[in-house]
Copies of this chain bind each other. A is one copy, B any other.
Amino acid sequence: MNEEKPGMKTLIAEASLALFEQRGFTETSVQDICNELGVTKGTFYYYFDSKETLLMDIHEQYIVTLLEEQKGILEDDNLTYREKVRAVIYMLIRDIEKRGARGRVFFREMRHLNDGRKAKIVPLRNQFRLNIEQLVRAGVEAGAFRSEINPKLAAFALLGIANWSYQWFHPDGELSDREVADAFATILLEGIEPDPRDR
């Protein structure tokens, strides 16, 4: 239907994203973005109200898409609690390849949004976390996870493990996204120690 060839607006957004990731938001000037595409600032401001509007677009796209994907996993009645945990971790690790730049910019540059815009993004980011917390809570109540587990802290642990990967994981390395996600899920679910009764 659409998806024919990228318009100038898309080109600007993509070039900006790459530059923001490499150099950072403040360190990338509007002129830099324009040079990258061989256009002038007039063009930029024809498509975007401000540099910050562009940053907001990047943030919104990232978190909204992530929430949608997460919803698909959490509402899938065919999955057990442990499978849902595995699926969420895999989704986050796999996304590093698919939209790693967007993710890194999201975590790093959010503070450059003004208060009004941050007030729109932060609740969405929190919702993502609260959904995981709710998954763990339901799992604990159902007996799938241990009763002494604090769902809030477990959610932070999951997010910490997965999101920290944005800092080091490159899909072209020695390990595939699937291997990394599987190993992380196993650590979170089963821990690194052997069963106490085997020791």
Contact = CB atoms under 8 A, between A and B. Distances in A.
A163 B165 CA distance: 12
A149 interface: yes
A193 B191 CA distance: 9
A82 interface: yes
Interface residues of A, number: 45
A168 B156 CA distance: 9
A145 to B, nearest CB: 5
Copies in the complex: 2
Contact of A111 (B24, B188, B189): B24
A187 B157 contact: yes
A191 B24 CA distance: 36
A19 interface: no
A192 interface: yes
Interface string A173-199: 001000010011011111111111101
B193 A82 contact: yes
Contacts of A144: 193
A160 B165 contact: yes
A150 interface: yes
Interface string A15-45: 0000000001011000000000000000000
A26 B26 CA distance: 7
Interface in A108-157: 108, 111, 136, 139, 143-146, 148-150, 153-154, 156-157
A186 B154 CA distance: 10
The 5 closest A-B pairs by CB, nearest first: A160-B164, A191-B191, A190-B191, A160-B161, A26-B26
Interface of A: 24, 26-27, 82, 85, 108, 111, 136, 139, 143-146, 148-150, 153-154, 156-157, 159-165, 168, 175, 180, 183-184, 186-197, 199
